[in-house]
Amino acid sequence: MRPLRHRRLTAVVALATMLVTAGPPTAAGADDGRNRRAGYHRVGYFTQWGIYGRAFPVKKLDTSGAASRLTHVNYAFGNVSEDGRCFVDGGPGEGDAWADYQRPVPADESVDGVADAWGEPLNGNFGQLAKLKAKHPGLQVLISLGGWSWSTYFSNAARTDASRRAFVASCIDLYLKGNLPVLDGGSGGPGAAAGVFDGIDLDWEWPNWPGEPGNVVRPEDRQNFTELVAEFRRQLDAYGRTTRRHHPLTAFLPANPATMDAGYEGREIFRYLDFATVQGYDFHGAWDPVTNQQSALRVPSGAPDNPDFSAEVAIDGWLARGAPREKLVLGIPYYGRGWTGVSGSGNGLFQPAAGPAPATFEAGYEDYRRLKTLAGNGFTVHRDLRAGHAWLFDGTTFWTYDDPAVVLQKTLYIRRAGLAGAMVWSLDGDDDNATLTKTIGLGLATP
């Protein structure tokens, strides 16, 4: 007899397949199968700061089994200076060179069990990523530039031909050639990080659209973004001719159709990108006065906003703007969004709330590994199988999140829609057994 766990998993796969194929034929869901991939990208963001409060060193990618299920690790983040250069600076608010490549990693946190010595050229996260790649030769590591906090000066970097050339050259020199600034004690130096990073991920949030307050925003950002990815492609290809390798170029793209139109020449940018990851989360959060879904596959019935956001809406939006489905990677969250002081009746969905739910690091934001422990401990798990989302509710506090069943349903949607794969933000939100990453590996496995 099959083990009970296996029979349950088989039943979940069958149910998720039924739910995905029963969905209405949208632009994304209407693929006839000719574009289905033999292999899928499985991209995970590793956060620089996750080594601290979340106690998530690079080693956990290996010991948890995550690394063997991933094709790409995106390191978050690289900074952009006001004069439009990639740079590393240990100054407050500018970066954490200590975490990147100065910190001597102890033996119990080291991928190969060997401790770093003070002052080695490549310590910290960068050194551990090099060891991870040695253990998992098929894994590629990309430096992700910008993010929510460090997109302030992207517009400056992309503004002119000269600024674009200088910006791209500085990023390749710093990260791919590995010419790191020398820090106190001696870490860094010419070629210190050579081979750690295989390519570049552009996470400009957002061209010609407000992001974090203080970001430089210009109407010409839309065209300049296209010119910027073209320049990255030219210089990466030129560098690749010296290394005899292809160096990938990717970008993180928004879910909001208005942001798509303001900041991107949809069809043009994909001439230069290997693929793009699409925001599949933060559709709603405690900034809204009522509880809602933050990452549903489809817009739920009875949603108070019309139009509303969903993963399918985001993918359809990019397809309608000329993006090739075989270059679209769907983003999946390893965290939930929460409200407390929920009033009204029923299961808590679409009900007024007083504010963000208390959480470990940020009110209204909690990692999956902590949310999973709430189920059965005063919280009930609710599901909308048709819309593809789940939530926790205890009568007062509400959390919308992706659990393994939802993640599996999304991977089957990716397969049916002929998309390029899945991306996750962020790997440190998973549990110690990499349950969500393993679920993605299962859902996107190839024969």
Which residues does the annotation mark as catalytic? 205
Contact (CB, 8 A) for 303 and 245:
no
Cα separation, 395 vs 389, in Å, equals 19
Cβ count within 10 A of residue 79: 20
Tell me the two tokens of residue 367: 């990692």
Cα separation, 45 vs 146, in Å, equals 13
Tell me the two tokens of residue 283: 């559709």
Contact (CB, 8 A) for 410 and 318:
no
Cα separation, 227 vs 160, in Å, equals 9
Q: Counting every residue, how long is the chain?
A: 447
Specify the residue for token string 């504010």. Answer: 355
Cα separation, 190 vs 131, in Å, equals 19
Provide the 8-state DSSP code for 116: P
Provide the 8-state DSSP code for 45: E
Cβ count within 10 A of residue 128: 27
Cα separation, 279 vs 256, in Å, equals 9
Can you name the residues that pair with 421 across neighbouring β-strands?
A: 41, 329
3-state class (DSSP) for residue 58: coil
Tell me phi and psi for residue 136, to 5 degrees: -130, 80
Tell me phi and psi for residue 58, to 5 degrees: -55, -35
Cα separation, 391 vs 401, in Å, equals 6
Cα separation, 269 vs 328, in Å, equals 12
Cα separation, 386 vs 398, in Å, equals 20
Cβ count within 10 A of residue 190: 12
Cα separation, 366 vs 359, in Å, equals 6
Could you please report the per-residue DSSP string of 67-96?
Answer: GGG-SEEEEEEEEE-TTS-EE---STTT--
